[in-house]
Structure 1
Amino acid sequence: MEQKQVSCGSVLPPLSAKYTWLVAQSLEDEKNEIGDLFFYTIHDPLINYRCSLPELLGKRIRGYYHGWYILSKKTTWSLWNPITSKFICLPPLILKDGDSGSIKECCLSLPPADPSSILLLTRTDKATFVFFRLAGKRKSKTWTEVSYAEQLEDIIGPSYLLHSLTCCSGNVYALNEYVFYCQGILVILVEIVVKDKEVVINLRLIGKCPKFDSYYEFFSISRFLTGSSSELFHIIVGFDSINDKVGAVHLFKLDMNRVEWNEMVDADDMYKACQIFEEMKDLKDTTFFVSGDLKNLKDTMFLVNSSVFYRPVISSELGGYIHIRDNMAGKDIIHSYHVKDRTISLSSSPSPVVPTSHVLLWECRLEDDHGEDGCRVDSKQTENEIVVRGVVDNLVKSNESYMLNLPFDMLVMIMDRCIGVEYMNFRLTCKRCHLAARVIKWRDQAEIKRLQNYSLISPWLMVVDQNRGVITFTDPIFGNNYFINSHVSIYGGRICCSGYGWLLFYSTDFYQLVFFNPFTNNLIKLPQTECDLRNLCFSAPPISPNCIVVGFEARNYSTIYIHNVGGEPSWLTLDLVDDSYFIYSLSFPTFSGGDLYALCDHRKLCVFKNLGKKDCLWKLVVAEAPGDWYESSSQYILTKCDQHLILIIVSEVGKSVEVFKLNDVEEEWEKIDDLGRYMIYICDAACFCVEAKTPEMENKIYFPNLHSKNGKIVFYSLETCKYHTFSEKRFDEDLMDFTGTTHHLNPHAWIEPSWS
């Protein structure tokens, strides 16, 4: 359906407070002036409102504090209250160096009517504050610029510029990166003392933000700070590799009422604030909206144009999210992170002025909510929703008489046809099911064969929810979910790889690499390593005497670590430093024909010969993979399919998927449009190819994404060149890319069920 635009002329549109509304400003090409306003919401993308407010004509919205919008137009700054229609115009901002375009962030310390209220600005290239006092008895009202560089160095030493200005409990706070610690993110109090004739700004160190354990795993990291009432919120967003996929989101809260103001935190006590911050596991009926120049973060330490807003919502189903706006693949994308479920849903921003960096949250007041006839919350149960209710014994008996009013012999017959997780769940349903289910001897060869036959249909998507202690298995064909109690505690939430029904991950319990079979609970510990390893793979099931595990150093990839599971309890190391070539990254290692192949520096293919022997060597096989590295941030994925090496290239947001096969003779990649009877499974931990057991599953690539509407696994069909889900083994719900899908941030991997 096409998006409907409603023109509201020179008045504000009737915005409902039920939704979180965004306002985008169009840019006039001729003079680069700010044009009309467009109001839209991610919850109802089919409608937007367009208006041209006289108060905002040609002005850019820079921020929102205490009910007032901060506006700017070149050297002119002003404040506007849309509720009272009051407008405050400030004198022109004339900087000594004349660089008025270097203003980075702004913050209104207190409401304008407060005698101590000032409008505080920061600059992109200098450690200075530029401020204007809004009230007070002064003959002339002018802007003032003061340096904070000396103060900052006195309290924390060499550091970067302050950023992420916010208000909390009547004070202004900011973030700062400490030069001596790559993860040294500090919270700074900007203490503003307004006297009769002067304004004094002092900086005080509150403490250090919580440590981000997965710092080195991400290509770029964004940090935001915002305040509400007496609480400060710190948001961390980590982007994976070069494809700008959100790989981690952390939300921390600091109650300023718990801070001991009488004690100054100095540079030798950076970790004091870490005990005050607490990570939030659920946002409940509140939501955040984060916007910033995230694409340019790769070359900077902070966001240039960033904003973050916190507000409650009326409808509970809309709460619990951190909405992260980014510009990807030529269009605005909203990453909606659900804090409790740790999932991210991708949606295409309905902004009619894409691309634009001028997008802010628009505050709607309940008393002015005339957009709808009240806010109705739909209490109907959605399709495919599983409702768990607590019941008493009498209710169980009553339910059993209706639900399981079957002859006992027929119930036994049903139980005999249940397999694996289905069997265990059905057996725990009630006493009659427990009695009808015979005790299975899992080592019985007939039962093992029966379980193996059941598992041959397709690998399952496994998700480990460590907070709830549950492992979820999702069947990609029928979309059924199976749950078992989790006995896994994964360090850093990272599964290294999967294969042959086993997971390889760093265990929090043992602080070392372990193999784990979630179907049998078997555990195999690997020897300790001197360094952290990344991009691991193994050649065979770990119970096989021929199983070889390979991993690379996490930071510089200069050494490969090799371990024979059935051999000596140690790792063999091989130095990869070469005078002719230095390796910056190795990814998706894949065993083929006794050799190990891997993508070198994302796009080059290299091979390791005689692995584990003294004459082991490596060389580049293919110099460049298809595609343009400088214009594309696509993901390159390597796997083996029917004795051939396969390269999959997935563009940003999955807008295109291309498959190539290695020509061993010419050592070149050849594009293919058909996988035949094979299917490929891709996830963060690994990629593998298996032969399809049913015709409807072949010639497809399965991703660890769920359709945002029906909750089913999304796959890409090489036949239709679209994304689909299964509905009774038929195609359903086609998509053009990953917008409209949800993916997990909990540890997850595709796994082939193995009960032995």
Structure 2
Amino acid sequence: MRLTLVDYLHMRTTCTMFRSVSPPVDWKKKALEGLELPPLSQWLIFFEKDGVCSLVDPRHGDKYLISLPPSLSNCGIYYSKNGWLLMSGNTNSTFLFNPFTRKIVPFPKDDIPYRFFTSNMGFSCYPTSSDCLVVVFGQKFYEKVNLSYTRLGGQGWTDVDFVFCENSPVFYQGAFYCLGRGGNLGVLQFTAGEVTWRVLPKPTRPCCSYHQNFLVECNGELLSVFVGEFGKGVRIFKLNHFPMAWIEVESLGHYMIHISRSSSLAAMATAPGMENKIYFPRFCGQSGHSIVFYSLDTKKFHSFESGDADEDFYSTRAQLCSCWIEPTWC
């Protein structure tokens, strides 16, 4: 029972004898009973067809399927945090969903504004908490962008003018931080019932040559990740609050980062060899679902299937409309 779920499943499929001494385990029931389960790596989650979502383990390249409730058909994933997905469908339905427990938390009656122009969304904590805050970066018209927010169980949405940001927000130290195209930061602060929005004059853009940028919290620090054009290198910076500036990070130590447009997550590596790497929602290899990562040790792209061989980042296959999720049965 000290094995992770993935390793336990692998052990049971090794041979008849192993299967006979390792009975099937109801992992959801054990989590609800309060038993501590071994940590799992973040998995890439996406929908392949109606009623089914796929989960890919970045270390082993294994793919798992989860059937979805009928009400979730034709829905899109906009954000992921603490094992929950923020989803929205074609029938003006928006909700939070845990694919492991199959629990659904609906939004307030007033639906998300600017639904068909929505850029990004985010939420602050477990949606089972009354303190859960939800934010939406929605483009009402082609030039004006609004930021809307609500509290689950509250009375609807409130707007704040916003400067466009193209990646998912991060709830950090009681506020939502957003990384703009120019590498600057916007902060949505909730204090004593008041809401303030600021675009910080500093830090300024830490590098010039990049194609995409991402924001992620790692071990209590706020990190920005900049991906060069045509996959030519990846640079990581840590926010230094005094003075307010980006400081380049050369190593993540035992941590790993999983980035995507909908969600970027960081965690301690759960298996040897996964540390000090940045994982992308891109596939390569003969299996078709070996995940591509950037190694801060070699400064190159690889996959576990290809070993030490380099991967050409833009010859790999991007998995659109996907995000990373932290498996949890709690």
For the criterion TM > 0.5, the same-fold answer is yes
1:591 aligns with 2:175: no
Tell me how far 1:606 sits from its aligned partner: 2.0
**Which of structure 1's runs of 4+ aligned residues deviate more than 6 A?**
none
Tell me how far 1:481 sits from its aligned partner: 1.3
CA distance in structure 1 between the partners assigned to 2:31 and 2:171 by the alignment: 30
Tell me how far 1:695 sits from its aligned partner: 3.8
Q: What's the counterpart of residue 94 of structure 2?
A: 513
Structure 1 residues 675 and 405, CA gap change in structure 2 (3 angstroms): closer
What do residues 409-451 of structure 1 show as CA deviations (whole Å, max 9, x unaligned)? x6442334x575xxxxxxxxxxxxxxxxxxxxx445576636x
Q: Kindly indicate whether the alpha-carbon contact (under 8 Å) linking 1:551 and 1:561 is maintained by their aligned counterparts in 2.
A: yes
CA distance in structure 1 between the partners assigned to 2:199 and 2:52 by the alignment: 44
2:23 maps to a residue whose letter is M
2:119 pairs with one of 530, 534, 540: 534
1:726 aligns with 2:304: yes
Tell me how far 1:744 sits from its aligned partner: 2.0
Structure 1 residues 419 and 444, CA gap change in structure 2 (3 angstroms): closer
Q: Kindly indicate whether the alpha-carbon contact (under 8 Å) linking 1:606 and 1:621 is maintained by their aligned counterparts in 2.
A: no
2:133 pairs with one of 539, 548, 563: 548
Any gaps of 5 or more consecutive residues in structure 1? 1-402, 421-441, 577-582
Q: How many residues align?
A: 309
Structure 1 residues 662 and 542, CA gap change in structure 2 (3 angstroms): same
Any gaps of 5 or more consecutive residues in structure 2? 1-12
Give the SS at the match of 2:312. coil
Q: What's the counterpart of residue 40 of structure 2?
A: 457
What do residues 306-336 of structure 1 show as CA deviations (whole Å, max 9, x unaligned)? xxxxxxxxxxxxxxxxxxxxxxxxxxxxxxx
CA distance in structure 2 between the partners assigned to 1:600 and 1:477 by the alignment: 31
- What does 1:386-425 align with in structure 2 at a 5 Å threshold? 406=16, 411-416=19-24
Q: Quote the sequence identity (%).
A: 31
Q: What's the counterpart of residue 150 of structure 2?
A: 563
Tell me the TM-score normalized by structure 2.
Answer: 0.83
Q: Kindly indicate whether the alpha-carbon contact (under 8 Å) linking 2:295 and 2:301 is maintained by their aligned counterparts in 1.
A: yes
1:573 pairs with one of 135, 152, 159: 159
CA distance in structure 1 between the partners assigned to 2:183 and 2:85 by the alignment: 26
Q: What's the counterpart of residue 702 of structure 1?
A: 279
2:99 maps to a residue whose letter is P
- What does 1:239-250 align with in structure 2 at a 5 Å threshold? none
2:119 maps to a residue whose letter is R
What do residues 654-706 of structure 1 show as CA deviations (whole Å, max 9, x unaligned)? 22101111111121111111012211101221112112233421111111111
Tell me how far 1:714 sits from its aligned partner: 1.3
1:742 aligns with 2:317: yes
CA distance in structure 1 between the partners assigned to 2:66 and 2:195 by the alignment: 46
- What does 1:182-197 align with in structure 2 at a 5 Å threshold? none
Structure 1 residues 625 and 490, CA gap change in structure 2 (3 angstroms): farther
- What does 1:75-86 align with in structure 2 at a 5 Å threshold? none
Tell me how far 1:733 sits from its aligned partner: 5.0
Q: What's the counterpart of residue 5 of structure 2?
A: none
Q: What's the counterpart of residue 249 of structure 2?
A: 672
Structure 1 residues 678 and 404, CA gap change in structure 2 (3 angstroms): closer
Q: What's the counterpart of residue 363 of structure 1?
A: none
Give the SS at the match of 1:663. strand
Structure 1 residues 570 and 702, CA gap change in structure 2 (3 angstroms): same
Higher RCO structure, 1 or 2 (CA under 8 Å, sep 6+):
2
Q: What's the counterpart of residue 643 of structure 1?
A: 220
Q: Kindly indicate whether the alpha-carbon contact (under 8 Å) linking 2:293 and 2:302 is maintained by their aligned counterparts in 1.
A: yes
Tell me how far 1:621 sits from its aligned partner: 4.3
Structure 1 residues 480 and 713, CA gap change in structure 2 (3 angstroms): same
CA distance in structure 1 between the partners assigned to 2:14 and 2:176 by the alignment: 54
1:537 maps to a residue whose letter is G
Tell me how far 1:559 sits from its aligned partner: 2.7
What do residues 130-188 of structure 1 show as CA deviations (whole Å, max 9, x unaligned)? xxxxxxxxxxxxxxxxxxxxxxxxxxxxxxxxxxxxxxxxxxxxxxxxxxxxxxxxxxx
1:734 maps to a residue whose letter is A
CA distance in structure 1 between the partners assigned to 2:263 and 2:192 by the alignment: 22
What do residues 87-133 of structure 1 show as CA deviations (whole Å, max 9, x unaligned)? xxxxxxxxxxxxxxxxxxxxxxxxxxxxxxxxxxxxxxxxxxxxxxx
Structure 1 residues 490 and 685, CA gap change in structure 2 (3 angstroms): farther
Give the SS at the match of 1:735. coil
Structure 1 residues 736 and 616, CA gap change in structure 2 (3 angstroms): same
Q: CA RMSD in A?
A: 2.7
- What does 1:23-62 align with in structure 2 at a 5 Å threshold? none
Q: What's the counterpart of residue 10 of structure 2?
A: none
Give the SS at the match of 1:653. helix
Give the SS at the match of 2:77. strand
Tell me how far 1:753 sits from its aligned partner: 0.7
CA distance in structure 1 between the partners assigned to 2:114 and 2:271 by the alignment: 43
- What does 1:170-189 align with in structure 2 at a 5 Å threshold? none
CA distance in structure 1 between the partners assigned to 2:114 and 2:265 by the alignment: 27
Structure 1 residues 405 and 598, CA gap change in structure 2 (3 angstroms): closer
Structure 1 residues 676 and 405, CA gap change in structure 2 (3 angstroms): closer
Give the SS at the match of 1:543. coil
CA distance in structure 2 between the partners assigned to 1:622 and 1:561 by the alignment: 24
1:489 pairs with one of 73, 77, 81: 73
CA distance in structure 2 between the partners assigned to 1:633 and 1:701 by the alignment: 16
CA distance in structure 2 between the partners assigned to 1:481 and 1:647 by the alignment: 29
Structure 1 residues 559 and 611, CA gap change in structure 2 (3 angstroms): farther
Tell me how far 1:608 sits from its aligned partner: 2.4
Q: What's the counterpart of residue 56 of structure 2?
A: 474
Give the SS at the match of 2:167. strand
Tell me how far 1:736 sits from its aligned partner: 4.7
Q: Kindly indicate whether the alpha-carbon contact (under 8 Å) linking 2:54 and 2:65 is maintained by their aligned counterparts in 1.
A: yes
Larger radius of gyration: 1
Tell me how far 1:586 sits from its aligned partner: 5.2
What do residues 37-93 of structure 1 show as CA deviations (whole Å, max 9, x unaligned)? xxxxxxxxxxxxxxxxxxxxxxxxxxxxxxxxxxxxxxxxxxxxxxxxxxxxxxxxx
CA distance in structure 2 between the partners assigned to 1:557 and 1:551 by the alignment: 14
1:753 pairs with one of 309, 327, 330: 327
- What does 1:38-187 align with in structure 2 at a 5 Å threshold? none
1:503 aligns with 2:89: no
2:103 pairs with one of 522, 540, 565: 522
1:755 maps to a residue whose letter is W
Give the SS at the match of 1:697. coil
Q: Kindly indicate whether the alpha-carbon contact (under 8 Å) linking 1:681 and 1:750 is maintained by their aligned counterparts in 2.
A: yes
2:67 maps to a residue whose letter is N
Q: Kindly indicate whether the alpha-carbon contact (under 8 Å) linking 1:726 and 1:732 is maintained by their aligned counterparts in 2.
A: yes
CA distance in structure 2 between the partners assigned to 1:736 and 1:681 by the alignment: 17
Q: Kindly indicate whether the alpha-carbon contact (under 8 Å) linking 1:677 and 1:691 is maintained by their aligned counterparts in 2.
A: yes
2:22 maps to a residue whose letter is I
2:89 maps to a residue whose letter is S
CA distance in structure 2 between the partners assigned to 1:708 and 1:612 by the alignment: 52
What do residues 490-541 of structure 1 show as CA deviations (whole Å, max 9, x unaligned)? 44xx421111101112123x42221111111111111313322321111111
Q: Kindly indicate whether the alpha-carbon contact (under 8 Å) linking 2:79 and 2:323 is maintained by their aligned counterparts in 1.
A: yes
2:294 pairs with one of 695, 716, 737: 716
Q: Kindly indicate whether the alpha-carbon contact (under 8 Å) linking 2:125 and 2:132 is maintained by their aligned counterparts in 1.
A: yes
CA distance in structure 1 between the partners assigned to 2:215 and 2:192 by the alignment: 22
Give the SS at the match of 2:258. strand
Structure 1 residues 413 and 743, CA gap change in structure 2 (3 angstroms): same
2:21 maps to a residue whose letter is M
